[in-house]
Amino acid sequence: MGTNCSPAILSDMQGNKQTSRSVATQGVDDLVMLPKVGEAEIVENIHKRYQHDLIYTYIGPVLISVNPYKDLGNAGEQFVPIYHGRFPHENTPHLYALAEEAYRSMKGDGGNQCVLISGESGAGKTEAAKIIMGYISFVSGKSDKVEYVKNVVLDSNPLLEAFGNAKTLRNNNSSRFGKYFEIQFDNYGDPCGGLITNYLLEKSRVVYQQNGERNFHFFYNLCAGANQQEKQKLSLYGAEHYYYINQGNTFTVDGMNDAQDYQEVRHAMNTMGLTAGDQESVLRLVAGILNLGNVAFRDQGKNTSVADPQPMQAAAALFGVDPFLLQNSLLFRVIQTGGAGGGGQKRGSTYNVPQNSEQALGAKDALAREVYSRMFDWIVAKINAALQKYKMPFKNVVGILDIYGFEIFDNNGFEQFCINYVNEKLQQYFIELTLKAEQEEYVKEGIKWTPIKYFNNQIVCELIEGKVGIFGLLDDICYTIHAQSGSGTDLRFLEKLVGSFSQHPHFRGFNNAFCIKHYAGDVNYNVEGMTDKNKDTLFSDVIEMLQTSKSQFLVSLFPEDVKGAQKKRPTTAGLKIKTSAGALMKALSACNPHYVRCIKPNDNKRAGDWNEARVRHQVQYLGLLENVRVRRAGFAYRAPFERFLNRYKKLSKNTWGIWGEWKGGAREGCETICRDLGLENGQYQMGKTKIFIRFPEALFHLEEMVERKDYECAMKIQGAWKKWQLAKHALEQRRRAAEVLRGNKERQRNSVNRNYTSDYMSYDCNFALQQIVQQNGHQESVIFADQVLKLNRRNRPERRDFIVTTQAFYIVARAQQNNEVYYKMTRRAALADISGLSLSPLQDNYLVMHMSREYDNLIENDKKSEIIAVLMEAYEGLTGRRLPVQFSDRITYKIKSGDTRELAFIRNESAQGQPILKKAGRQLKVEISSGLPKETDTTPQGMYLQASAKPRGGGAPRGGGAPRGGGAAPAQGGGAARGGGAGGPRGGGAGGAAPRGGGAPRGGGAAPAQGGGAARGGGAARGAQRGGPRGGAAPRGGRGGGAAGGAPARPQAKAMFDYEAQTADEITFREGDVMFIVRKDSEDWWEAEMNGKRGYIPANHVEEIK
């Protein structure tokens, strides 16, 4: 579809509210809202909208679609967001809104859906089906398998249209077959397969078209699009040379390019998995049919001969059969007498009966029709096989019915009779669900209701398909005089019809024809050829001839046992269509239906033209007036109490909450929900087993509230999860920084327990700064942001914004002018270009980032440990290597000019608070007082260093302390052990108050401080935690709580099943693997270590080793 959209259409699609002025000029978008309801008002409203290119109108959930006969540019991927995730009332009518409703219902309610597209030939049914399938393709998943299924679904359209569609007087792309396309969906709502069922291909078109029409598209595609080599191999000429496709004197179609369409069909064949051999076989059969059509016969006395042997020989070569056998099968008919029926043992005789030219012509046409029909069925089967390639299980289906529309021509035959019968059945289904069943349900449920009169076409369906109906009488004639054919049997059939139905109100018989009063109007059917077409069989000798073909493809199309079939009663075309229609109705009844009623505005296929009489006739037979009346008087939604309660209970605090959910009766629960939501009594009624909601707006409001509730709950869950993940990640970074700095650099007291928050300058709210990064960073994720002091080449400090992303770090300068802040990026350096980091061993905040390209950067920031952890993590993720970190009291670095500078760090106890800087040429001396010892352990509580399996001081891992009430445990890292006895102040001894309740703390007795240091974090041990008074005993045993004299083994777990890591912080393991348990975060996830890697494991996949 095009992308240029008229202002009226764009305004309409964006859901602008209708005003009284717009209604006066453009009509209402839902016929239920008409001030006055009648056929004239409905036609006038549709006309108003059609004049403004607004081709869609609602009747409640039913969508009316008028064929515009031009590209309105109102469909395509750019329009999908307007409708995706929205309810019908949020936008004005469109096929996308109906497709979204079907797709949403399938995912939300878990039920099968079907879209029934009905209307006359040329009303736009096929295009509507393609738009719906395209929308579902746009909004569903994107995995490789899902994309494959979607490609098959979409590419099946040009393939089926090429072989099953044709130009008719009323429609340039008329479907000459019925198609019910079930798209299968998995639990996630993504297409995973499909199934196409085809109905009643118009086989007669293969051999005959009236003036102004064409045969099936692919005949012309092949003649126009085949390359020279293919034409030579297939004996192809221009389309005008072939009788089967030149009878209509129409070889091109406006808006179609046969040569281009041929290439699209060949591409679609590749998508369906048709091999080169399969494709060549199809082309040979199509070319063979074209050549067969040019075979002519002439009578020579009592004999009949072929007028020109060349077409016969060409057709035989393409079919892979002997030309003599092909000729004989058409010129003679094999007749068997005696012994053929009743299963008796009588001996029979076989005769070759010569046929006259008319009979030979009939045999030839029957052969062409049957070969094409079976080839078409084979193509459908190949599409189904392609849809089931991965054999993925499916949960639900969305079925799309695109079937030939009601047809009334000057000369209507057996094909129109069958087509109109199927449409009559669909109309019956529509009546059953939208009119009859709805009113019957109101009575059954005791709902107050004003009945609406409507025409029930059940009487017409019974006339056609009843036990003694038209199909039944036709089959009887074919069975009783099966050896005869021609006008005599057709007239016998007409006589039986008149004798059986002369008093029927919907039947009338006259010379050579009969009339049926259909829901769409009176149709006269010519009986000529009806009995032969109903037999729908090839002579057995013709089938046997085809089974001698060298083409295994052609042989596979005719697998029947001819001799065995002679003993069975043949199946007729009428019986097949009755059976297919019954199966279709059964499939549709298992789905929640969505209706598209297509209307044809004129018969000349011209945009803008309007034939009011034709439109009024369609409005009448589609039953739109009755549909509007029922809708206005009825209820928009109904559901069993249990389903309504289950769907909407979360909207009331009295039926759902942290306390639990409703346990009372379902009816009372529904009443509670409606009352709590403030629904007035006139908006709903309570039936005996169901609740009925009168207005669509009330239902839309409920659905919006459910979606909002689900969204809010999901956001809370996601927020909690993300917060936990970020906190866990920050602890990981602190652990990593502690691992790098411990033993190498003195620490500042205020950095020991500082939390990492990554953003210290409200970067998320600074849109100007974000724009600087986005313009240069190509959508990089920011992982650290803070202001730093950058030393320039003269060693003068300059304040800069320092931003680290997953790909680079940025240094941005700020300037202020007229109270407005301006930003200028002074450097962007790729993290992969960092060659190393340098720090001093003292407690200063200086950090040098050495670059493999260009110059280095010297910055000062009190969050240097976090910067180190962030840079190391991002660098390792990009390069797979560990970022080198060096510690030295003399650091040389390169400046922008290419020269070098040196930092010299000197301990000076008088430099309290801030370091003392002294310049000496190219050297900058930094004098700083002493900080906490290098061995100070700043690892967060409960986390282990990867570098060492055992904590210093001989302690055991967390949870591995002394038995409850056990002996003392040495402190880790120069202080009281976590969970051990109370530590003294810095340099002091032990001793403090016992925990509440007296007695030794859980996990061990008093623990002397190792090296006289304080407990982690300085000062008294964490006695205030978990019940201990401040300065008192420590809480339950943790890291370092092992018994004196030795550390117990670390807890371990053994894998019971295989597990593949889903995120970077999880561990992949196999059944039987043994790993160390670091920490049990919850009942669901544990932190573990295996083969030197730490990460999370699902607790239900492992068993702790006792």
Per-chain mean pLDDT for the chain: 83
Whether 126 is a known active-site residue: answer yes
Which residues have C-beta within 8 Å of that of residue 164, sequence separation ≥ 6?
175, 176, 177, 179, 198, 201, 216, 376
**Per-residue confidence (pLDDT) for residue 1011, from 0 to 100:** 36
pLDDT > 90? residue 697: no
For residue 759, what are the β-bridge partners? 785
pLDDT > 70? residue 926: yes
Identify the active-site residue in 165, 175, 198, 936: 175
pLDDT > 80? residue 1035: no
Q: What is the mean pLDDT of residues 18-38?
A: 78
Q: What is the mean pLDDT of residues 869-873?
A: 95
Identify the active-site residue in 122, 777, 974, 1028: 122
Confidence bin at 570 (pLDDT 50/70/90) = low
Whether 171 is a known active-site residue: answer yes
**Per-residue confidence (pLDDT) for residue 819, from 0 to 100:** 80
By C-alpha distance, which of 1046, 1034, 1044, 1033 is closest to 968?
Answer: 1044
Identify the active-site residue in 65, 126, 156, 271: 126
Whether 405 is a known active-site residue: answer yes
Whether 1012 is a known active-site residue: answer no
Annotate 146-158 with three-state secondary structure. HHHHHHHHHHHHH
Tell me the two tokens of residue 124.
Answer: 């736009």
Which residues have C-beta within 8 Å of that of residue 486, sequence separation ≥ 6?
532
**Interhelix angle for 258-271 vs 144-164, to 10°?**
140
Q: Do the Cβ atoms of 617 and 420 come closer than 8 Å?
A: no
pTM higher than the cut 0.85: no
**Per-residue confidence (pLDDT) for residue 1041, from 0 to 100:** 37
Identify the active-site residue in 213, 370, 407, 438: 407
Q: Which of 556-570, 620-634, 691-705 has the lowest mean pLDDT?
A: 556-570
pLDDT tens column, 112-130: 999 999 888 889 999 999 9
Identify the active-site residue in 45, 165, 171, 526: 171
The residue ranking higher by pLDDT, 680 or 564, is: 680
Q: Residue 917 burial by CB count (10 A; 0-12/13-18/19+): exposed, middle or buried?
A: middle
Q: Which of 167-176, 323-332, 337-346, 436-445 has the lowest mean pLDDT?
A: 337-346
**Per-residue confidence (pLDDT) for residue 22, from 0 to 100:** 67
Whether 127 is a known active-site residue: answer no
Confidence bin at 564 (pLDDT 50/70/90) = low
Q: Do the Cβ atoms of 82 and 91 come closer than 8 Å?
A: yes
Q: What is the mean pLDDT of residues 874-882?
A: 91
CA angle 536, 538, 541 (to 5 degrees): 165
pLDDT > 80? residue 494: yes
Give 923-943 as a DSSP string: EEEEEE---B-TT---PPTT-
Identify the active-site residue in 74, 174, 537, 549: 174
**Per-residue confidence (pLDDT) for residue 613, from 0 to 100:** 94
Whether 407 is a known active-site residue: answer yes
Q: Do the Cβ atoms of 230 and 264 come closer than 8 Å?
A: no
pLDDT > 90? residue 850: yes
Pairing of strands 178-185, 396-402: antiparallel
Q: Which of 342-356, 439-453, 536-550 has the lowest mean pLDDT?
A: 342-356
Confidence bin at 1016 (pLDDT 50/70/90) = very low
**Per-residue confidence (pLDDT) for residue 110, from 0 to 100:** 82
Pairing of strands 834-839, 885-887: parallel
Q: What is the mean pLDDT of residues 409-434?
A: 87
Compute the distance between CA of residue 1057 and CA of residue 901 in angstroms, rounded to an integer: 57
Using a pLDDT cut of 70, give the percent of the chain over it.
85
34 to 9, 28, 44: CA distances (angstroms): 21, 7, 11
pLDDT > 70? residue 985: no
Compute the distance between CA of residue 529 and CA of residue 207 in angstroms, rounded to an integer: 14
pLDDT > 70? residue 1040: no
Whether 551 is a known active-site residue: answer no
Confidence bin at 968 (pLDDT 50/70/90) = very low
Identify the active-site residue in 74, 121, 168, 420: 121
Q: Which of 292-296, 533-537, 942-946 has the lowest mean pLDDT?
A: 942-946
pLDDT > 90? residue 846: yes
pLDDT tens column, 202-219: 898 999 999 999 999 999
Identify the active-site residue in 178, 225, 405, 623: 405
Compute the distance between CA of residue 973 and CA of residue 733 in angstroms, rounded to an integer: 20
Whether 122 is a known active-site residue: answer yes
Q: What is the mean pLDDT of residues 35-58?
A: 94
**Per-residue confidence (pLDDT) for residue 804, from 0 to 100:** 95
Tell me the two tokens of residue 185.
Answer: 């969906």
